[in-house]
């Protein structure tokens, strides 16, 4: 089977490299051609237009920024006409509604569609240890299980299309909220002149400790948010997707709306392309950040 990979950014590149390492024939497209150089050097076929990648492959993997990018790359007039007989696997973060609408468009074009968003960042992508959540029919899941194992050893069938997209948004909401809460507590103990090491010792021994706290601690203490595994702008995008999808579910969204405001301020403070732990700087400098 030949696979087309559309979208080779921070996550897409190591994921595509996993396929090449497994001796899977790969044709790749990216809007920024320079990002394709490592794949070309590793033996991937490189194309300059997405329709060429779709035509050349039986299976098309999408790791694109958002639903708008998917429509532009996959469902433009020229690309949509090439979908017949192809399987589309959407692995980025979009809303359940968007995923279902894209599925309908793909099916109308004669193709089949499943979603397989992933939890994890660049280290997990490189190691093939992502958590792969699959929204598909059981037969589709079984048919593409081995392919998806290149990204994570135990791809999990969540349910029909939309269910995996929903779970991914729920998890990313938790990432945003957990990190914000930890940053606020860290800033608080610093201002109160409590020893950070003692704070972390007590926290690590508690039932509410999460490993992400240690992952982000040093970045926050150093104010060093460069070389992100997940940029602030992407977490903001996912938080906004969560809010937009959750509005119709009669949930109280006041807490996550507060997190969104902090992320929005981080982006305004020029942290858009930095690690999302940059929200710590917003919390520490809140008055200055909002002009008080």
Residue 288: predicted pLDDT = 54
For residues 28-55, give the mean pLDDT: 93
**Whole-number mean pLDDT of the chain?**
95
Q: Report the C-alpha gap between 57 and 54 in whole angstroms.
A: 6
Quick one: DSSP state of residue 269? Answer: I
Element (H, E) at 46: strand 45-46
What's the start-to-end Cα distance of the chain, in Å? 59
Give the tens place of pLDDT for each residue, 50-87. 999 999 999 999 999 999 999 998 988 777 888 999 99
Facing residues of 131 across strands? 119
What would the two tokens of residue 66 be? 């958002």
Among residues 71, 68, 51, the alpha carbon closest in space to that of 4 is found at 51
Residue 267: which region, alpha, beta or left (left: phi > 0; alpha: psi -120 to 50)? alpha
| pLDDT on residue 81 | 84
Q: Is residue 67 a contact partner of residue 47, using CB atoms and an 8 Å limit?
A: no
- Write out pLDDT tens, residues 250-281: 999 999 999 999 999 999 999 999 999 999 99
Taking CA atoms, 234 is separated from 10, 122, 290, in Å, by 11, 14, 22
% of the chain exceeding 90 in pLDDT:
91
Using CA atoms, how far apart are residues 173 and 166, in angstroms rounded to an integer?
Answer: 11
Element (H, E) at 77: helix 77-80
Read off the pLDDT of each residue in 228-238 and give the average, rounded to a whole number. 96
Q: How many residues does the chain have?
A: 292
For residue 138, pLDDT beyond 80: yes
Helix (H) or strand (E) holding 277: none
Summarize the chain as % helix, strand, coil (round to 5). 55, 15, 30
pTM summary value:
0.93
């Amino acid at each position: 089977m030949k696979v087309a990979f559309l979208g080779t950014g921070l996550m897409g590149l190591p994921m595509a490299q996993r396929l090449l390492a497994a001796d899977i024939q790969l044709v790749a497209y990216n809007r920024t051609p320079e990002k394709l150089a490592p794949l070309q050097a590793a033996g991937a076929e490189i194309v300059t237009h997405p329709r060429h990648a779709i035509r050349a492959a039986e299976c098309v993997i999408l790791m694109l920024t958002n639903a708008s990018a998917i429509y532009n790359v996959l469902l433009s007039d020229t690309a949509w006409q090439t979908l017949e007989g192809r399987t589309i696997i959407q692995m980025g973060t979009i809303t359940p509604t968007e995923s279902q609408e894209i599925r309908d468009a793909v099916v109308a074009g004669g193709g089949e569609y499943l979603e397989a968003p992933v939890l994890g960042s660049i280290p997990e992508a490189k190691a093939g240890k992502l958590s792969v959540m699959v929204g598909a029919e059981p037969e589709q899941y079984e048919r593409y299980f081995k392919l998806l194992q290149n990204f994570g050893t135990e791809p999990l069938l969540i349910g029909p299309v939309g269910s995996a997209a929903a779970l991914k948004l729920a998890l990313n909401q938790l990432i945003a909220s957990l990190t914000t809460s930890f940053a606020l507590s860290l800033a608080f103990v610093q201002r109160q002149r409590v020893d950070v090491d003692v704070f972390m010792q007590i926290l690590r021994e508690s039932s509410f400790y999460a490993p992400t706290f240690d992952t982000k601690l040093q970045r926050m203490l150093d104010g060093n948010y460069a070389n992100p595994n997940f940029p602030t702008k992407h977490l903001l995008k996912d938080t906004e997707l969560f809010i937009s999808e959750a509005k119709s579910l009669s949930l109280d969204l006041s807490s996550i709306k507060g997190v969104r405001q902090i992320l929005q301020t981080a982006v305004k403070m020029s942290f858009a392309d930095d690690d999302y732990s940059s929200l710590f700087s917003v919390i520490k400098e809140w008055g200055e950040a909002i002009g008080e």
